[in-house]
Amino acid sequence: MAPDIDTRKAEPAGLRLRWSGELSLTTRILAVNLAALALMAAGLLFLDSYRSRLISERVNKAVEQTEILGRTLEASGKGEWDTHIKLAARTVGSGNRIRVYDQQGAKIADSLALGISGLEITNPATQPWEKRAAATMDRIFDGIVMAPRLDSFAEPKVDDASAWPELIRKFSSTEIGKVRLAADSTHVVSATFRPVSRQFSVLWLSNPRDVRALVRAERFSIGLYFFTVLLVSVLLSLFLARTIVRPLQHLANAAQQVRLGRSSAVYVPRLPSRRDEIGQLARALSDMSTALRQRIDATEAFAADVAHEIKNPLASLRSALDGLEKVSDPNLRQQLMVVAHDDVQRMDRLISDISDASRIDAQLAKARFERIDLGDMIEQLLDARENRGEDGGVSIAFARPRRDIAAIMGEDLRLERVFTNLLDNAVSFSPDNGLVEVSATCSDDTVIIRIVDQGPGIPENERENIFRRFHSERPSNEGFGKHSGLGLAIARTIIEGHHGTISVHDREDGASGACFEIRLPAAGNEERL
C-beta separation of 446 from 412 below 8 A: no
DSSP class of residue 479 equals P
pLDDT at 274 over 90: no
Give the tens place of pLDDT for each residue, 489-507. 888 888 888 889 999 988 8
Give the tens place of pLDDT for each residue, 278-311. 778 788 878 877 777 777 776 776 666 666 667 7
Which bin fits 94, alpha (ψ -120 to 50), beta or left (φ > 0)? beta
- Residue 182 pLDDT class (50, 70, 90 cuts): confident
DSSP class of residue 20 equals G
For residues 207-213, average pLDDT: 77
* CB contact set of 109 (below 8 Å; sequence gap of 6+): 81, 82, 85, 98, 99, 100
As beta bridge partners, residue 107 has 101
pLDDT at 172 over 50: no
Residues in the chain: 529
- H helix or E strand, kind and range, residue 201: strand 200-206
For residues 51-55, average pLDDT: 78
C-beta separation of 383 from 420 below 8 A: no
pLDDT of residue 356: 66
pLDDT at 339 over 90: no
- H helix or E strand, kind and range, residue 99: strand 96-102
pLDDT at 263 over 70: no
DSSP per-residue codes, 66-77: HHHHHHHHHHS-
pLDDT of residue 387: 83
pLDDT of residue 391: 75
Lowest mean pLDDT among 99-113, 380-394, 426-440, 458-472: 458-472
pLDDT at 364 over 90: no
C-beta separation of 108 from 98 below 8 A: no
pLDDT at 21 over 60: no
For residues 44-55, average pLDDT: 71
φ/ψ (deg, to 5) at 206: -135, 150
pLDDT of residue 139: 73
Lowest mean pLDDT among 342-356, 403-417, 473-487: 473-487
pLDDT at 465 over 70: yes
Residues 148 and 181: their CA atoms lie apart, in Å, by 11
pLDDT of residue 520: 93
Percent of all residues in the chain with a pLDDT value above 90, rounded to a whole number: 4
Lowest mean pLDDT among 160-164, 174-178, 319-323: 174-178
The whole-chain average pLDDT of the chain stands at: 77
463 by Cβ neighbours in 10 Å (0-12 / 13-18 / 19+) ranks as middle
pLDDT of residue 447: 92
Q: Which domains does the chain have, with CATH numbers?
A: 44-219 (3.30.450), 298-359 (1.10.287), 368-473+485-521 (3.30.565.10)
DSSP class of residue 125 equals G
pLDDT greater at residue 382 or residue 223: 382
* CB contact set of 58 (below 8 Å; sequence gap of 6+): 187, 189, 206, 208, 211
pLDDT of residue 517: 93
pTM of this structure: 0.46
State which of 43-47, 209-213, 235-239, 386-390 shows the largest mean pLDDT: 386-390
pLDDT at 484 over 70: no
- H helix or E strand, kind and range, residue 108: strand 107-110
pLDDT at 519 over 90: yes
Lowest mean pLDDT among 33-42, 99-108, 121-130: 33-42
pLDDT at 62 over 50: yes
Residues 152 and 182: their CA atoms lie apart, in Å, by 6
- Residue 516 pLDDT class (50, 70, 90 cuts): very high
- For residues 106-137, b (16+ Cβ closer than 10 Å) or e, as one string? ebebbbeeeebebbebeeeeebeeeeeebbee
* CB contact set of 122 (below 8 Å; sequence gap of 6+): 131, 183, 184
pLDDT of residue 34: 72
pLDDT greater at residue 346 or residue 200: 200
Lowest mean pLDDT among 89-103, 110-124, 167-181, 197-211: 167-181
* CB contact set of 176 (below 8 Å; sequence gap of 6+): 59, 63
3-class DSSP state for residue 464?
Answer: coil
pLDDT of residue 4: 44
pLDDT at 8 over 60: no
pLDDT of residue 327: 77
State which of 132-136, 137-141, 351-355, 408-412 shows the largest mean pLDDT: 408-412
